[in-house]
Amino acid sequence: MTQYAALNSDIIESGLDTNRIGSQIIIYKSTSSTNDIAAEYVRGGKKNDGLAVFAESQTAGRGRRGNKWQSGDGKSILCSILLYEPDIRPDTLTIACAVAAAESIGRCGRNDAKIKWPNDILLDDKKVAGILVEASATKNKKKYYIAGIGINCHQKKEDFSDELSRTATSIDIQSGGICDRNRIAKRLLINLDHYVTGGLENTGEIVEKWRSMSILLGKRITVEHNGRKFTGNCIGIEPIEGLVLQLERGGVKMFDAASTTVVKIELTEIDNG
Protein backbone atom coordinates (compact mmCIF):
# COMPACT_ATOMS: atom_id res chain seq x y z
CA MET A 1 0.00 0.00 0.00
CA THR A 2 1.27 3.41 -0.89
CA GLN A 3 1.99 5.57 2.08
CA TYR A 4 0.56 8.98 1.35
CA ALA A 5 1.85 12.13 3.02
CA ALA A 6 -0.02 12.87 6.23
CA LEU A 7 -1.89 16.08 6.82
CA ASN A 8 0.45 18.45 8.59
CA SER A 9 -0.75 21.56 10.39
CA ASP A 10 2.66 23.23 10.02
CA ILE A 11 2.48 22.93 6.24
CA ILE A 12 -1.15 24.06 6.07
CA GLU A 13 -0.52 26.99 8.42
CA SER A 14 2.69 28.11 6.77
CA GLY A 15 1.98 31.40 5.00
CA LEU A 16 -1.75 30.99 5.53
CA ASP A 17 -2.80 34.60 5.27
CA THR A 18 -6.51 34.30 6.02
CA ASN A 19 -8.73 36.68 7.95
CA ARG A 20 -11.00 34.20 9.57
CA ILE A 21 -10.89 30.63 8.27
CA GLY A 22 -8.11 28.51 9.72
CA SER A 23 -7.59 30.69 12.81
CA GLN A 24 -6.79 27.38 14.52
CA ILE A 25 -5.99 24.13 12.77
CA ILE A 26 -6.47 20.87 14.60
CA ILE A 27 -5.72 17.50 13.05
CA TYR A 28 -7.14 14.25 14.40
CA LYS A 29 -5.75 10.86 13.50
CA SER A 30 -9.23 9.41 13.79
CA THR A 31 -12.52 10.55 15.22
CA SER A 32 -16.18 9.75 14.91
CA SER A 33 -16.94 13.03 13.16
CA THR A 34 -14.98 16.26 12.70
CA ASN A 35 -18.30 18.13 12.92
CA ASP A 36 -18.70 16.79 16.48
CA ILE A 37 -15.22 18.00 17.43
CA ALA A 38 -15.93 21.45 15.98
CA ALA A 39 -19.18 21.49 17.96
CA GLU A 40 -17.15 21.05 21.17
CA TYR A 41 -15.24 24.21 20.35
CA VAL A 42 -18.48 26.20 20.20
CA ARG A 43 -18.25 26.35 24.00
CA GLY A 44 -15.19 28.55 23.67
CA GLY A 45 -17.25 31.17 21.82
CA LYS A 46 -15.92 33.83 19.50
CA LYS A 47 -12.26 32.94 20.08
CA ASN A 48 -12.78 29.69 18.20
CA ASP A 49 -14.40 31.29 15.16
CA GLY A 50 -12.71 30.04 11.99
CA LEU A 51 -11.41 26.86 13.62
CA ALA A 52 -10.69 24.08 11.14
CA VAL A 53 -10.71 20.46 12.31
CA PHE A 54 -9.25 17.82 10.03
CA ALA A 55 -9.23 14.06 10.50
CA GLU A 56 -7.27 11.37 8.71
CA SER A 57 -10.16 9.00 9.20
CA GLN A 58 -13.69 9.31 10.37
CA THR A 59 -15.94 6.59 11.69
CA ALA A 60 -19.29 8.36 11.61
CA GLY A 61 -19.03 11.05 8.97
CA ARG A 62 -22.34 12.50 7.98
CA GLY A 63 -23.73 13.30 4.59
CA ARG A 64 -26.94 14.96 3.62
CA ARG A 65 -30.04 13.23 5.02
CA GLY A 66 -27.94 11.05 7.28
CA ASN A 67 -26.09 9.37 4.42
CA LYS A 68 -22.75 8.04 5.53
CA TRP A 69 -19.66 9.62 4.03
CA GLN A 70 -17.14 6.91 3.15
CA SER A 71 -13.65 7.78 4.22
CA GLY A 72 -10.60 5.56 4.22
CA ASP A 73 -7.52 6.20 6.32
CA GLY A 74 -5.48 9.14 5.13
CA LYS A 75 -7.07 9.18 1.71
CA SER A 76 -9.46 12.06 2.07
CA ILE A 77 -9.63 15.60 3.25
CA LEU A 78 -12.20 15.54 6.01
CA CYS A 79 -12.63 18.98 7.40
CA SER A 80 -15.06 20.87 9.58
CA ILE A 81 -15.03 24.60 9.94
CA LEU A 82 -16.65 26.51 12.75
CA LEU A 83 -18.18 29.89 12.08
CA TYR A 84 -19.32 31.61 15.26
CA GLU A 85 -21.94 34.33 14.86
CA PRO A 86 -21.69 34.26 11.06
CA ASP A 87 -23.03 37.11 8.97
CA ILE A 88 -24.22 34.98 6.07
CA ARG A 89 -27.09 32.55 5.64
CA PRO A 90 -26.33 28.85 6.12
CA ASP A 91 -27.35 28.08 2.53
CA THR A 92 -24.97 30.77 1.32
CA LEU A 93 -22.24 29.07 3.33
CA THR A 94 -23.11 25.76 1.67
CA ILE A 95 -22.60 27.20 -1.79
CA ALA A 96 -19.52 29.16 -0.66
CA CYS A 97 -18.04 25.86 0.54
CA ALA A 98 -19.02 24.17 -2.71
CA VAL A 99 -17.35 26.88 -4.79
CA ALA A 100 -14.27 26.97 -2.53
CA ALA A 101 -13.93 23.17 -2.64
CA ALA A 102 -14.49 23.00 -6.40
CA GLU A 103 -11.86 25.70 -6.97
CA SER A 104 -9.37 23.93 -4.67
CA ILE A 105 -9.87 20.64 -6.48
CA GLY A 106 -9.99 22.18 -9.92
CA ARG A 107 -6.61 23.80 -9.53
CA CYS A 108 -5.06 20.44 -8.73
CA GLY A 109 -3.96 19.83 -12.30
CA ARG A 110 -7.46 20.24 -13.66
CA ASN A 111 -9.85 23.08 -13.81
CA ASP A 112 -13.11 21.37 -14.41
CA ALA A 113 -14.71 20.53 -11.08
CA LYS A 114 -18.45 21.07 -11.25
CA ILE A 115 -21.17 21.48 -8.69
CA LYS A 116 -24.24 19.34 -8.59
CA TRP A 117 -26.97 21.13 -6.77
CA PRO A 118 -27.07 21.52 -3.91
CA ASN A 119 -23.89 20.24 -2.30
CA ASP A 120 -21.93 17.75 -4.38
CA ILE A 121 -18.69 18.44 -6.25
CA LEU A 122 -18.12 16.40 -9.38
CA LEU A 123 -15.17 15.54 -11.57
CA ASP A 124 -16.22 14.04 -14.89
CA ASP A 125 -19.79 13.62 -13.64
CA LYS A 126 -18.74 11.59 -10.60
CA LYS A 127 -18.87 12.78 -7.03
CA VAL A 128 -15.50 13.73 -5.61
CA ALA A 129 -16.53 15.92 -2.69
CA GLY A 130 -19.49 16.78 -0.53
CA ILE A 131 -20.53 19.59 1.75
CA LEU A 132 -22.76 19.54 4.77
CA VAL A 133 -23.49 22.69 6.74
CA GLU A 134 -25.11 22.40 10.15
CA ALA A 135 -26.61 25.58 11.54
CA SER A 136 -27.36 25.82 15.22
CA ALA A 137 -27.36 28.16 18.21
CA THR A 138 -25.92 28.12 21.71
CA LYS A 139 -28.07 28.30 24.84
CA ASN A 140 -27.58 32.06 24.92
CA LYS A 141 -28.80 32.33 21.34
CA LYS A 142 -25.46 32.82 19.61
CA LYS A 143 -25.72 31.46 16.09
CA TYR A 144 -23.04 29.20 14.75
CA TYR A 145 -22.47 27.08 11.66
CA ILE A 146 -20.33 24.04 11.21
CA ALA A 147 -19.38 23.33 7.62
CA GLY A 148 -18.27 19.77 6.98
CA ILE A 149 -16.33 19.23 3.78
CA GLY A 150 -15.22 15.83 2.51
CA ILE A 151 -12.94 15.47 -0.51
CA ASN A 152 -11.89 12.12 -1.97
CA CYS A 153 -8.19 12.41 -2.75
CA HIS A 154 -6.18 9.18 -2.89
CA GLN A 155 -8.92 6.56 -3.28
CA LYS A 156 -8.42 4.02 -6.02
CA LYS A 157 -11.20 2.41 -7.98
CA GLU A 158 -11.10 -0.68 -5.75
CA ASP A 159 -11.71 1.47 -2.67
CA PHE A 160 -15.28 2.01 -3.81
CA SER A 161 -17.90 -0.67 -3.97
CA ASP A 162 -19.06 -1.57 -7.48
CA GLU A 163 -22.22 0.37 -6.93
CA LEU A 164 -20.43 3.40 -5.55
CA SER A 165 -17.73 3.44 -8.23
CA ARG A 166 -20.38 4.30 -10.79
CA THR A 167 -21.12 7.56 -9.02
CA ALA A 168 -18.03 8.31 -6.90
CA THR A 169 -14.44 9.08 -7.71
CA SER A 170 -11.29 10.67 -6.30
CA ILE A 171 -8.89 13.35 -7.47
CA ASP A 172 -6.17 10.71 -8.03
CA ILE A 173 -8.46 8.52 -10.15
CA GLN A 174 -9.41 11.46 -12.34
CA SER A 175 -5.93 12.92 -12.64
CA GLY A 176 -3.91 9.73 -12.80
CA GLY A 177 -1.43 11.16 -10.33
CA ILE A 178 -1.10 11.65 -6.60
CA CYS A 179 -2.48 14.91 -5.29
CA ASP A 180 -1.08 16.94 -2.42
CA ARG A 181 -3.67 16.97 0.35
CA ASN A 182 -1.89 19.63 2.39
CA ARG A 183 -1.92 21.96 -0.59
CA ILE A 184 -5.58 21.30 -1.33
CA ALA A 185 -6.48 21.77 2.35
CA LYS A 186 -4.65 25.08 2.42
CA ARG A 187 -6.34 26.26 -0.80
CA LEU A 188 -9.68 25.24 0.59
CA LEU A 189 -9.14 27.45 3.66
CA ILE A 190 -7.87 30.37 1.59
CA ASN A 191 -10.73 30.13 -0.92
CA LEU A 192 -13.37 29.78 1.74
CA ASP A 193 -11.89 32.68 3.68
CA HIS A 194 -12.25 34.86 0.60
CA TYR A 195 -15.98 34.13 0.27
CA VAL A 196 -16.83 34.11 3.95
CA THR A 197 -14.91 37.23 4.94
CA GLY A 198 -16.87 39.29 2.46
CA GLY A 199 -20.04 38.25 4.28
CA LEU A 200 -23.31 39.28 2.73
CA GLU A 201 -21.60 41.62 0.29
CA ASN A 202 -19.93 38.66 -1.35
CA THR A 203 -23.14 36.69 -1.85
CA GLY A 204 -23.49 37.94 -5.42
CA GLU A 205 -20.01 36.76 -6.37
CA ILE A 206 -20.55 33.40 -4.66
CA VAL A 207 -23.84 32.80 -6.44
CA GLU A 208 -22.43 33.82 -9.82
CA LYS A 209 -19.45 31.47 -9.50
CA TRP A 210 -21.63 28.73 -8.18
CA ARG A 211 -24.02 29.04 -11.15
CA SER A 212 -21.15 28.96 -13.60
CA MET A 213 -19.94 25.68 -12.10
CA SER A 214 -23.36 24.12 -11.76
CA ILE A 215 -23.93 21.12 -14.01
CA LEU A 216 -27.69 21.14 -13.88
CA LEU A 217 -28.48 24.38 -15.63
CA GLY A 218 -29.68 23.68 -19.15
CA LYS A 219 -29.95 19.92 -18.60
CA ARG A 220 -32.95 17.66 -18.73
CA ILE A 221 -33.24 16.18 -15.27
CA THR A 222 -35.47 14.08 -13.11
CA VAL A 223 -35.92 14.89 -9.45
CA GLU A 224 -37.65 13.16 -6.63
CA HIS A 225 -39.63 15.49 -4.42
CA ASN A 226 -41.67 14.25 -1.45
CA GLY A 227 -41.80 10.77 -2.94
CA ARG A 228 -42.87 11.91 -6.44
CA LYS A 229 -40.78 12.13 -9.56
CA PHE A 230 -40.70 15.13 -11.85
CA THR A 231 -38.87 15.45 -15.17
CA GLY A 232 -38.13 18.68 -16.94
CA ASN A 233 -35.57 21.11 -18.24
CA CYS A 234 -33.56 22.92 -15.61
CA ILE A 235 -34.10 26.56 -16.54
CA GLY A 236 -32.99 28.14 -13.29
CA ILE A 237 -30.98 27.37 -10.25
CA GLU A 238 -31.15 29.40 -7.11
CA PRO A 239 -28.91 28.66 -4.14
CA ILE A 240 -31.66 29.30 -1.65
CA GLU A 241 -34.97 28.77 -3.41
CA GLY A 242 -33.78 25.72 -5.31
CA LEU A 243 -34.14 24.30 -8.77
CA VAL A 244 -36.49 25.73 -11.35
CA LEU A 245 -37.76 23.12 -13.78
CA GLN A 246 -39.78 23.57 -16.94
CA LEU A 247 -41.82 20.44 -16.46
CA GLU A 248 -42.44 18.07 -19.35
CA ARG A 249 -46.08 17.84 -18.53
CA GLY A 250 -46.34 21.61 -18.49
CA GLY A 251 -45.75 24.38 -16.02
CA VAL A 252 -42.73 25.66 -14.12
CA LYS A 253 -42.00 24.40 -10.64
CA MET A 254 -39.47 25.25 -7.93
CA PHE A 255 -37.88 22.46 -5.93
CA ASP A 256 -36.26 23.23 -2.58
CA ALA A 257 -33.02 21.52 -1.57
CA ALA A 258 -34.32 20.12 1.69
CA SER A 259 -36.88 17.81 0.15
CA THR A 260 -35.54 17.18 -3.34
CA THR A 261 -33.04 14.73 -4.76
CA VAL A 262 -31.77 14.77 -8.31
CA VAL A 263 -32.19 11.20 -9.55
CA LYS A 264 -31.25 11.52 -13.19
CA ILE A 265 -29.29 13.94 -15.34
CA GLU A 266 -29.37 13.53 -19.10
CA LEU A 267 -26.07 14.17 -20.72
CA THR A 268 -27.27 16.00 -23.79
CA GLU A 269 -27.60 19.72 -23.44
CA ILE A 270 -30.95 21.20 -24.22
CA ASP A 271 -31.13 23.67 -26.98
CA ASN A 272 -33.05 26.47 -25.42
CA GLY A 273 -32.94 28.52 -28.60
Partner 1 sequence: MGDDKKFDLKKVKEIVEFMLENDLVEVEIAEGDNKIHLKRPGSSVSQIPVVAPVPAAAHAIPVIAAAPGQPAADDKLVGIKSPIVGTFYSAPSPDSPPYVKVGDHVTSDTVVCIVEAMKVMNEIKAEATGIIEKIMVANGQAVEFGQVLFKIRPD
Residues that bind partner 1 (CB under 8 A): 6, 8-10, 26-31, 37, 40-41, 43-45, 48, 56
Q: Are 264 and 248 in contact (CB under 8 A)?
A: no
Return the closest-CA partner of residue 153 out of 257, 71, 265: 71
The beta strands (E) that lie in 47-90 are given as 52-58, 76-84
- The CA-to-CA distance between both ends of the chain, in Å, stands at 52
* Least gap, CB of 2 to partner 1 (angstroms): 20
Other beta carbons within 10 angstroms of residue 166's beta carbon come to: 10
> Which C-beta is closer to partner 1: that of 182 or that of 191?
182
Closest distance of CB 80 from partner 1, Å: 13
Q: How many CB atoms within 10 Å of residue 141?
A: 6
CB of 265 to partner 1, least distance (A): 40
**How near is the Cβ of 37 to partner 1 at its closest, in Å?**
6
| CB-nearer residue toward partner 1: 180 or 205 | 180
CA 56, 57, 60, 64 torsion-angle sign: positive
Of 48 and 119, CB closest to partner 1 = 48
| Least distance (Å) between residue 243 CB and partner 1 | 38
Residue 89 or 183: the one with the smaller Cβ distance to partner 1 is 183
For partner 1, the closer of residues 10 and 162 by Cβ is 10
Q: Cα-flanking dihedrals φ and ψ of residue 193, to 5°?
A: -55, -40
Residues 6+ apart with CB under 8 A from 100: 188, 191, 192, 194, 195
Choose among 101, 113, 92, 129: nearest CA to 190: 101
Q: How far is the CB of 134 from partner 1 (least distance, A)?
A: 17
In the complex with partner 1, the residue whose CB is nearer, 58 or 104, is: 58
Q: Please give the Cα distance from 193 to 97 (Å, whole number).
A: 10
Minimum distance, C-beta of residue 27 to partner 1, in the bound complex (Å): 5
Alpha-helix residue ranges (DSSP H) falling in the chain: 9-13, 34-40, 90-106, 162-165, 171-175, 181-197, 203-213
User: Which is nearer to partner 1, 74 or 118 (by Cβ)?
Assistant: 74
Least distance CB 21 / partner 1 (angstroms): 18
Contact at 8 Å (CB) between 105 and 151?
yes
- Three-state DSSP at 23 gives coil
Nearer to partner 1, 47 or 157 (CB): 47
